[in-house]
Amino acid sequence: MSKSSAGPRLPRAKGIDMATYYSPSDCAKRARHLILSEFNQKIVDEFISILGMREEFEKHHVPIPNKVVLYGPPGTGKTLTAFYMANILELPLVLVRLDAIIHSHLGETGSNIRKIFDYAGMFPCVLFLDEFDAIARTRDNNDEVKEMARAVNTLLQCLDDFGDKSIIMAATNLEKDLDQAIWRRFDTKMTYSLPDYGKRQQYIGILIGEFQCDEAAVTEVGEQLEGCSFADIEQIILKAKRKAIIERQPLQRRHIQDACDEYKPAVVNNFLT
């Protein structure tokens, strides 16, 4: 099992090598650039408040929510939200890409799912299941119907048996393909979208920080990167900053233009033309 360089020493489980572990402090470093919509921030704040009132909710026999599904386009902050949650709750993050545990041998995928959940049940953590739709897709839409149906059934059972001392977060870009039984298991749902102009400007400002730059070029970038994700914007700005550093110059329009030309984001409307 892989572990982040800054991660703590965590319990080992025999045969588990499909996850990556991050300490709360490591999660804080990764989540420092997270920008949430007001709606998602409200969901996160309420979720954390409930977890801090466990005894009161138990007194009223109201279940504690601990399953969150995050859906939306790639690069919009789903993974960073999991890091953010782990940092706030001061829990390690266990990150698993479900597309990596699919096995060609009969029954092996289900066995891998059980190993992951058994491991995450050994200590309080945030279990983050990325590429969730790789296994959680509706059982009617798989070529290998019987095998994948068994895997979905195993996943359902593991979700039902998972205690409330840890958090399960699952991310997908294809929420409409999720099996409805899986969808119903999640008590909290967060939707993500591409950033609007205000969010783009906010994120660009965070990425640039104290770096000397041409303010007019930065404003223009925010206007022209419509359709880009946060991940696209980050790669473009970091690439532009590297060019400026090499030249020992403030960040300028041409640095951003060259960075965009090299990165080739999937969707850019008339960038700096």
Mean pLDDT, residues 12-25: 71
pLDDT top residue among 164 and 243: 243
CATH architecture of 2-191: 3-Layer(aba) Sandwich (3.40)
Question: Which range among 13-17, 92-96, 210-214, 250-254 shows the weakest confidence by mean pLDDT?
Answer: 13-17
Structure tokens at 108: 């092996």
- As a whole number of angstroms, the distance between CA 194 and CA 56 comes to 37
Most confident of 16-20, 99-103, 191-195, 262-266: 191-195
pLDDT at residue 57 tops 80: yes
- As a whole number of angstroms, the distance between CA 182 and CA 35 comes to 28
pLDDT at residue 13 tops 70: no
Does domain 197-263 match CATH 1.10.8.60? Answer: yes
pLDDT at residue 15 tops 50: no
Question: In the structure, what pLDDT confidence band is assigned to residue 9 with cuts at 50, 70 and 90?
Answer: very low
* Residue in the block written with tokens 């690069």: 75
Determine which helix (DSSP H) or strand (DSSP E) holds 38, and give its type and residue range: helix 38-51
- As a whole number of angstroms, the distance between CA 25 and CA 8 comes to 10
What pLDDT score does 140 carry?
59
**Residue in 247, 215, 221, 250 with CA at minimum distance from that of residue 235:** 221
Cβ atoms 256, 240 nearer than 8 A: yes
What pLDDT score does 220 carry?
80
What percent of the chain clears pLDDT 90, i.e. is strictly above it? 51
Mean pLDDT, residues 91-117: 85
pLDDT at residue 264 tops 60: yes
Structure tokens at 145: 């119907």
Question: In the structure, what pLDDT confidence band is assigned to residue 238 with cuts at 50, 70 and 90?
Answer: very high
Q: Where in the chain is the domain with CATH 1.10.8.60?
A: 197-263
What percent of the chain clears pLDDT 70, i.e. is strictly above it? 87
Question: Which range among 118-132, 135-149, 197-211, 236-250 shows the weakest confidence by mean pLDDT?
Answer: 135-149
Mean pLDDT, residues 227-250: 93
* Residue in the block written with tokens 């958090």: 167
What pLDDT score does 106 carry?
59
With a CB cutoff of 8 Å and minimum separation 6, the contacts of 246 are none
- As a whole number of angstroms, the distance between CA 42 and CA 141 comes to 34
- CA angle 230-176-103, nearest 5°? 90
Residue 16's Cα: distance from chain center in Å? 21
The separation between the first and the last C-alpha atoms of the chain, rounded to the nearest angstrom, is 48
**Residue in 115, 91, 175, 105 with CA at minimum distance from that of residue 144:** 105
- As a whole number of angstroms, the distance between CA 52 and CA 47 comes to 9
- As a whole number of angstroms, the distance between CA 120 and CA 12 comes to 10
Most confident of 26-35, 104-113, 132-141: 26-35
What pLDDT score does 5 carry?
42
pLDDT at residue 216 tops 90: no
Question: In the structure, what pLDDT confidence band is assigned to residue 8 with cuts at 50, 70 and 90?
Answer: very low
| Residues in a beta bridge with 63 | none
Q: Where in the chain is the domain with CATH 3.40.50.300?
A: 2-191
- As a whole number of angstroms, the distance between CA 21 and CA 6 comes to 9
